[in-house]
Structure 1
């Protein structure tokens, strides 16, 4: 478990990293608990501090139902044909 100021978190399971732009930063999908609450799916960036500990950055936590809805939405979009 990790504590930072007013909150704590524990990564229960890492489901995968999908962006590792720099050696001290990654974007991950995890199952995580925040402040001892029930686990949720969590999509966010992480920074490895000078102390060697991963620190959470901005992200989003969601229920299993929300993650399924997001997966279905992404599958319905023709991302290859989009210009961004």
Structure 2
């Protein structure tokens, strides 16, 4: 079974590798489902991706709260 995806919104780039791949936070719809926040490496034209994580709005808010509580 093929996985389908659509990048609904490009939110931001966290880093870029010399190869041109970028670690990005995007809003992505997987298999025509409701979009989730997605953090992973993408190639320049968003045709290929590496392993990453998806987060619901509630999970992203919880992560934000955890990060805000950390001393970096």
Q: What is the root-mean-square deviation of aligned Cα atoms in Å?
A: 1.6
What aligned pairs does 1:1-84 form with structure 2 within 5 A after superposition?
6-48=2-44, 54-79=47-72
The 2-side partners of 1:63 and 1:34 are apart by: 13
Tell me, in whole angstroms, the C-alpha distance in 1 between the residues paired with 2:58 and 2:46: 30
Q: What stretches of structure 1 move > 6 A for 4+ residues in a row?
A: none
TM-score by length of structure 1 reads 0.77
Q: Which has the higher contact order (CA 8 A, sep 6+)?
A: 2
Q: Determine the C-alpha separation between the residues in 1 that align with 2:52 and 2:46.
A: 18
If each structure's strand is expressed as a fraction of its own residues, which one has the higher value? 1
